[in-house]
């Protein structure tokens, strides 16, 4: 078990953080707040939780924010918080996708670090502009591809980097859900509504919402760069305005191949993100719904069940492990690891120290790669299913 980052940071007060989005009825906002609390590194002190002034105050009050720091406008929040001596040091952006760019830019320009939900933006053009903004600002940009925070994912990445699989040949990615099997958006359900509205989510539906998670995970773990992709996107539910099922073939640099399936219309799948990677010396398999396990087969030997905190734990996994083997850590802990690492980085920047070695959270480059992937898949599929470069 690892001592928590926050608990060893004896000379550091909690980091003051604000939130944009995440008011009543939101899902991911609450997740970010729990993730920020788990290791005790952050204190939520401000929010533009809703663009409706009353709702923003109500939501803020529920979270214990003081009324004068419940903003109706993110622009106001960025400006006014930047002016305060006790202003926020970081902001968590948990809005629908189309708002990521303007909100992030505003806070970066105000000198405030940004922790932003994925996908980076709702289109590639915004993404590139945001990348410029990050560069100019000198501030930290953290993208919550939270699945890369799981200890066994860190272990998989480390094992591959250390050659445990030999030369990589295959990356098989899946992310299957079933919650959009029917026309849920017509019922007014909040999550379904904005995630299937191209004006808010971007032109991609399933590809952006979950396909990009699977793609990021494959890239993060394998370390492979993508040469070309071929995608077949489908909207199965009548009337749906975005894709709800995605089949992608990938060709990686160096000759490895990949397949990626993402679906929101596969009954019996709740949040079935999985990753399998094969090389000429072995294979790895991981399933998000049982995240404390990683299957490892050195070619020609029996399959081994590696567990979080168990006998074959590697340093990269150990570093992000809180409790012993057999005591399952879950989604929130993986998410919290991104926050913990963001905190370590922010604390380092407070004192102009170099970023800690252990920091491996996804950032602007991952976000940009994800947007290029989405864009390539849309181009490929629009072209009838042809090979394109991302």
The CA-atom distances, in angstroms, between 331 and each of 206, 319, 336 are 20, 17, 9
Considering the complex, state which of residue 29 and residue 119 has its C-beta at the smaller distance from a second copy: 29
Binders of a second copy: how many residues, by CB under 8 A? 98
Among 247, 274, 321, 380, binds a second copy (CB under 8 A): 247
Tell whether residue 102 is a contact of a second copy (CB under 8 A): no
Cβ atoms of 70 and 57 within 8 Å: the answer is: yes
Tell whether residue 187 is a contact of a second copy (CB under 8 A): no
Classify the C-alpha dihedral 281-286-291-293 as positive or negative: negative
Considering the complex, state which of residue 65 and residue 114 has its C-beta at the smaller distance from a second copy: 65
With tokens 């800690």, the residue in question is: 356
Considering the complex, state which of residue 95 and residue 263 has its C-beta at the smaller distance from a second copy: 263
Euclidean distance between CA atoms 288 and 153, whole angstroms: 9
Among 75, 109, 128, 178, binds a second copy (CB under 8 A): 178
CA angle 206, 227, 386 (to 5 degrees): 60
One-character DSSP codes across 325-389: TTS---HHHHHHHHHHHHHHHHHHHHTTPPPPTT-----HHHHHHHHHHHHHHHHHHHTTS--B-
Q: Of 266, 127, 253, 122, which is closest to residue 194 (Cα–Cα)?
A: 122
Among 82, 332, 358, 388, binds a second copy (CB under 8 A): 332
- Six-digit token pair at 343? 């905190």
Among 83, 187, 188, 301, binds a second copy (CB under 8 A): 301
Tell whether residue 330 is a contact of a second copy (CB under 8 A): yes
Tell whether residue 272 is a contact of a second copy (CB under 8 A): yes
Residue 131 beta carbon to a second copy: minimum distance, rounded to whole angstroms:
29
Tell whether residue 385 is a contact of a second copy (CB under 8 A): yes
Among 102, 310, 349, 358, binds a second copy (CB under 8 A): 310
Residue 194 beta carbon to a second copy: minimum distance, rounded to whole angstroms:
16
Euclidean distance between CA atoms 231 and 233, whole angstroms: 6
Among 122, 137, 274, 288, binds a second copy (CB under 8 A): 288
Task: Looking at residues 28 to 67 of the shown chain, list those that interact with a second copy (rule: CB under 8 A).
Answer: 30-31, 33-34, 37-40, 61-64
Tell whether residue 354 is a contact of a second copy (CB under 8 A): no
Name, in order, each residue with C-beta under 8 angstroms of 132's C-beta and a sequence gap of 6 or more.
none
Tell whether residue 236 is a contact of a second copy (CB under 8 A): yes
Tell whether residue 324 is a contact of a second copy (CB under 8 A): yes
Among 8, 85, 187, 351, binds a second copy (CB under 8 A): 8
Euclidean distance between CA atoms 377 and 87, whole angstroms: 41
Tell whether residue 329 is a contact of a second copy (CB under 8 A): yes
């Amino acid at each position: 078990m690892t001592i928590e980052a926050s608990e060893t940071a004896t000379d550091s007060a909690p980091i003051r953080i604000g939130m944009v989005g995440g008011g009543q009825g939101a899902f991911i906002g609450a997740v970010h707040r729990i993730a920020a609390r788990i290791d005790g590194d952050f204190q939520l002190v401000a929010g533009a939780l809703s663009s409706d002034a009353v709702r923003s105050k109500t939501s803020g009050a529920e979270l214990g924010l003081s009324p004068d720091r419940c903003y109706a406008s993110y622009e106001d929040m960025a400006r006014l918080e930047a002016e305060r001596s006790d202003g926020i040091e970081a902001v968590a952006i948990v809005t629908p996708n189309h708002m990521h760019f303007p909100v992030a830019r505003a806070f970066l320009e105000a000198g405030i670090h940004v922790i932003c939900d994925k996908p980076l933006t709702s289109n590639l053009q915004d993404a590139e502009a945001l990348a410029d903004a990050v560069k100019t600002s000198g501030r930290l940009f953290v993208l919550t591809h939270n699945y890369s925070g799981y200890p066994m994912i860190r272990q998989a990445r480390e094992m591959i980097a250390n050659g445990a699989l030999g030369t990589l040949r295959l990356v098989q990615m899946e992310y299957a859900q079933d919650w959009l099997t029917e026309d849920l958006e017509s019922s007014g359900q909040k999550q379904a509504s904005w995630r299937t509205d191209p004006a808010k989510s971007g032109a991609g539906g399933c590809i952006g919402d979950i396909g990009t998670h699977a793609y990021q995970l494959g890239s993060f773990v394998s370390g492979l760069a993508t040469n070309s992709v071929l995608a077949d996107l489908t909207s199965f539910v009548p009337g749906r305005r975005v894709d709800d099922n995605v089949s992608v073939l990938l060709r990686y640099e160096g000759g490895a191949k990949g397949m990626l399936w993402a679906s929101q219309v596969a009954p019996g799948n709740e949040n079935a993100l999985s990753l399998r990677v094969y090389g000429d010396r072995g294979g790895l398999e991981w399933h998000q719904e049982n995240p404390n396990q990683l299957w490892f087969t050195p070619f020609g030997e029996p399959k081994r069940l590696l567990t979080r905190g168990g006998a074959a734990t590697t340093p990269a996994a150990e570093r992000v492990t809180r409790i012993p083997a057999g005591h399952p850590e879950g989604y929130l802990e993986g998410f919290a690891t991104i926050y913990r690492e963001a905190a370590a980085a922010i604390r380092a920047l407070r004192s102009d120290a170099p970023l800690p070695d252990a920091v491996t959270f996804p950032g602007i480059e991952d976000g940009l790669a994800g947007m290029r992937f989405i864009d390539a898949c849309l181009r490929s599929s629009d072209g009838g299913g042809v090979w394109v470069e991302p």
